[in-house]
Chains A and B, each alone.
Chain A
Amino acid sequence: MLAFVIRRCIFLIFVLVGISLLIFSILMTFSPERRAAAYVQSPQQAQNIPGIIQQYGLDQPFYVQYKQWMIQTFRGNFGWSLVAAQPVWDAFCQYFPVTLELNIYAVPLTLIIGIYLGTLSGIYRGSFIDHFTRIVAIIGWSLPTFLFALVLLMIFYGYFGWFGTGIIGDDFQLYLLNHPDQFIRYTGLYTIDGILNGHSAICMDALKRLILPVITQVFVVVALLMRITRSSMIEELSKDYIITARAKGANDKIVYYKHARKNALIPTITVAGQLIALSMEGSVAVEIVFNRHGMGWWLVSSATQLDTPVLMFMCMFMGLVFVLSNLICDLLIAWWDPRIRLSTS
């Protein structure tokens, strides 16, 4: 297993170099003027475009710019984010915890609900629960996230005045600014830091503001997991070993949950791994509507403004996340099903 992990880690280096070359090449297809325009907001500033090209070396050959970027990256300097008005790494440290905090609650809920409902609809195919989950899945997939988030916000915040937007309330924010020594940012996640610092009110306030974004995120993502689990369950339940188990008199619960579901979860683990990896780049709709700007907002804004250093960094980061998530999924599947062995050849 160790050899497998080491091999994957070496593979990671090639993946990252490949991604960086690819993205850099794509970005180089934009003219220097077009890339310099990213620094410009008004016609007044536009007259300085030649100076900006010269200052940032945007007219240098591809290999010179790529080499420069590589050198800076190895030194830990990922560049300056125009969108975030701060160094790329600092911006990442600001936005990533926001996305992570949402996912910490949304991902387990998605997994639990998706697997649970998927299993039920697989077992009770054609029943009310199957139809119900199908409708939920269709709505979840077809309803735009942005619209669903807005509807939730309008009902619960707009009409009832519950939950609130943002990451934390103004009172708490000011309290934290005025008493920096009483609240240490261990993790950057308010819900966890609130508990670690003994400020349960801050934790509760942050949790309250997470409810609607988490519901939106879960509702949108759970559909895929539910349908995968359902079809795997149906497939497993029709296999010979299940018929044998039933013939031997095993009760339904053991057949469904111990035998069938265990095998049915293998494709689910693979899909869940991809979903978790994907969720690390954030959801722009959820972040914008609930005013918790994280990775999704940052990535989309950077893409529209051609914020090159951010785009390069984000592609590297997502490459890293996907390679690691695939590795973890492979290890998990091997542990889950002893019949599967990791290939080292």
Chain B
Amino acid sequence: MKQPVIIIGLCLLLIISATDGQSKSKHPDRFVFASYGNVQTLDPCMAYDTTSHQRILNIYEPLIFYDGSAVDQYIPVIAKKVPSLENGGISLDGMTYTFEIRNDIKFHEGQTLSPEDVIYSFKRNMIADPEGGPIWLLLEPLLGISSTRDENGHILPEVWGKIEQAITISNQNVVFHLIRPYPPFLSILCSSVGVIINKKWSISKGCWNGNFNDAPKYNNPKMGREPLQKIANGTGPFRFKSWEVSKEFIFECNEQYRGKKPAIKVAIFKFVKEWSTRKMMLQNGDADRVSVDSMHIPEVLSLKGLSFYKVPQLSVSGALFCRNINKIGNPYIGSGQLDGNGIPPNFFSDIHIRKAFLHAFDRDMYRRDVLNNMAIVPTSPNIEGLPYHANTPFYKYDPQKIVEHLKQAWNGKAWKKGFHMTIVYNTGNEMREAAALMLAENLMALNRHIQIEVQNVDWKDYLVNYRNYMYPFFLIGWSADYADPHNFIFNFMHSQGILGKYIHYNNPEIDQLCEKGIQVVTSTERKSIYEKLQHAWYENAIGILLYQQVNFRAYRDDINGFVLNPIFDDEWEDLKTLYRR
């Protein structure tokens, strides 16, 4: 018995001592980040998740990019300058954008970038237009449509011709012809749909061959059929070295990069799902940064050798009232009538009911006890960090006002008979659960005839149900596609907005304002429109905004040079600016 134990013990010692020193060595030119974000694709036409964006935007480059932490200031990257009304790059009607292209840019595989590559990149993206992908971002301003296909999946007539004419080359300049003025266009160009790929190389890898007659063959590729999913040839400061899904993604510095060479030579992005493992990696110096969810922030604050940063995010979670609930087989509205055992499908069409719910949300307590003061409670969908953000009034927690509004709602019937409904949130979202419970308790405490249940369902089921108008009151989040109020205000408030249409909100005046906001070019006009819309959010009591996430970042304290921009979430890291002290 003793002998095997001694032998096993000696083997263990040998294994520990043989490799321990090597794995602990720290490399000044290496950066390691551990998170739970999984990359889906490296193909710019397909990528619609923040993790893929981070990878793509460090390998490829767009025409212009955000200037440091600003979301409305840009720097030229592949373009020689940022077009504006002042320098003539943007036409006075706001419908033509002209970019002068640099001629000293090389792809990782040695090809020189040309204007031809630029127009190919955009046209190829629009031709591919995968279902559920990000290409609507280009199609909307350039063609005025959100998809190249109709509802039945048939390709729209003459769409290829329109794509062909949307971007042209003139005197070695690339000219974008917009269908209408679209002020967020520059912001869209900073995203991964705006990066430039090499035409010849892409065609050789199976991308669109440049012939519009063959375009249908390349339209709507299934997942995994996009040719550039696992290969890359960009112009960026980092090359794609290796990617093992759910293990790690490795970047290697592009030594041929023009200008200042990045200080970090190798960057490893590890997929580490378990928080405790990530924490120990950070603590032991095996990771320079890890993803920290809000509930773990106090644990991280107690660790030594770290520096901490907070970045407000351009994303918001809210609770929206559906004004025309689907009553067929709906278990969430009880009897479907205002008889004390349910609610009618149009229950929330009464503004007093909505106002009663808004007054039942205790913002201060929610910020303090639920968000631990680590997030912002917004007042309108045009959240902090977006252009034209204005401080608007908001509904304060007030039991007396709740009672007043409930007594006025439905001619007093809502208060007299009470009602019964269910608030549903997606499983695992503790902050939404807390908001639902708070509303339910604050309302039920005032009238014993009011019965509000709180339930959770899986996110995928949640998605299907709210799209079918099953929830009287649903809690949902929205993250920026680009840094402009249009992306938030339109989708929350317009009758055809992605969230607006599922609450059956239909106010022609607001619809008109939302549309005008994207059609005017000058800042002063836009500011006035978005201020009106932000006030309308309050006056019409459209919904309750719960929280605007603040991204908490913990770096090893020898890491420096990071750029924190609210448009990017926790997965973002601009590697070329990083260095180790």
Instruction: Report the Cα distance A153→B278, complex, angstroms.
Output: 11
Give per-residue flags for B489-501: 1 if the beta carbon is below 8 A from chain A beta carbons, else 0. 0010000001100
A51-B153, A84-B246, A162-B20 known; A43+B499 contact, CB < 8 A: yes
A37-B463, A289-B274 known; A208+B131 contact, CB < 8 A: no
In-complex Cβ contact of A177 among B40, B131, B242 (8 A): B242
Is the pair B460, A85 in contact by a Cβ cutoff of 8 Å?
A: no
Give per-residue flags for A145-173: 1 if the beta carbon is below 8 A from chain B beta carbons, else 0. 00000100110011001111111011101
Is the pair B280, A153 in contact by a Cβ cutoff of 8 Å?
A: yes
The stretch among B70-78, B167-175, B210-218, B219-227 that forms the contact with chain A is B219-227
In-complex Cβ contact of B22 among A83, A171, A211 (8 A): A171
Is the pair A43, B478 in contact by a Cβ cutoff of 8 Å?
A: yes
User: Across the interface, which residues of B come within 8 angstroms of A80, CB to CB?
Assistant: 222-224
Is the pair B467, A46 in contact by a Cβ cutoff of 8 Å?
A: yes
Q: How many residues of A contact B (CB 8 A)?
A: 65
8 Å CB contacts to B: which residues of A64-94?
80, 82-87, 91, 94
In-complex Cβ contact of A91 among B152, B153, B245 (8 A): B245
Instruction: Report the Cα distance A33→B151, complex, angstroms.
Output: 15
A31 within 8 A of B: yes
User: Across the interface, which residues of B come within 8 angstroms of A330, CB to CB?
Assistant: none
A24 within 8 A of B: no
**Contacts between chains A and B (CB distance < 8 A), count:** 166
B479 within 8 A of A: yes
8 Å CB contacts to A: which residues of B3-18?
12, 14-16, 18
Among residues of A, the one whose C-beta sits closest to the C-beta of B246 is A293
Is the pair B147, A51 in contact by a Cβ cutoff of 8 Å?
A: yes
Is the pair A55, B12 in contact by a Cβ cutoff of 8 Å?
A: no
Is the pair A44, B19 in contact by a Cβ cutoff of 8 Å?
A: no
User: Across the interface, which residues of A come within 8 angstroms of B498, CB to CB?
Assistant: 43-44, 46-47
A44-B498, A201-B22 known; A170+B132 contact, CB < 8 A: no
A6 within 8 A of B: no
B283 within 8 A of A: yes
Instruction: Report the Cα distance A304→B427, complex, angstroms.
Output: 12
A205 within 8 A of B: yes
A208-B15, A289-B276 known; A46+B38 contact, CB < 8 A: no
A124 within 8 A of B: no
User: Across the interface, which residues of B come within 8 angstroms of A169, CB to CB?
Assistant: 19, 22-23
Give per-residue flags for B262-289: 1 if the beta carbon is below 8 A from chain A beta carbons, else 0. 0000101011111011001101101000
Instruction: Report the Cα distance A122→B15, complex, angstroms.
Output: 35
User: Across the interface, which residues of A come within 8 angstroms of B516, CB to CB?
Assistant: none
8 Å CB contacts to B: which residues of A21-49?
31, 33-34, 37-49
User: Across the interface, which residues of A come within 8 angstroms of B15, CB to CB?
Assistant: 204, 207-208, 211
A48-B132, A291-B272, A291-B277 known; A208+B19 contact, CB < 8 A: yes
Instruction: Report the Cα distance A73→B353, complex, angstroms.
Output: 55
A42-B479, A85-B41, A288-B274 known; A205+B460 contact, CB < 8 A: no
8 Å CB contacts to A: which residues of B129-168?
131-132, 147, 149, 151-153
A177-B242, A293-B246 known; A82+B223 contact, CB < 8 A: yes
B574 within 8 A of A: no
Instruction: Report the Cα distance A171→B22, complex, angstroms.
Output: 8
Q: Could you jot down 8 A-B contacts, CB within 8 Å?
A: A39-B223, A40-B460, A51-B132, A85-B245, A161-B284, A204-B15, A291-B273, A293-B271
- 6 shortest A-B CB distances, which residue pairs? A37-B460, A169-B23, A48-B132, A51-B131, A80-B224, A45-B132
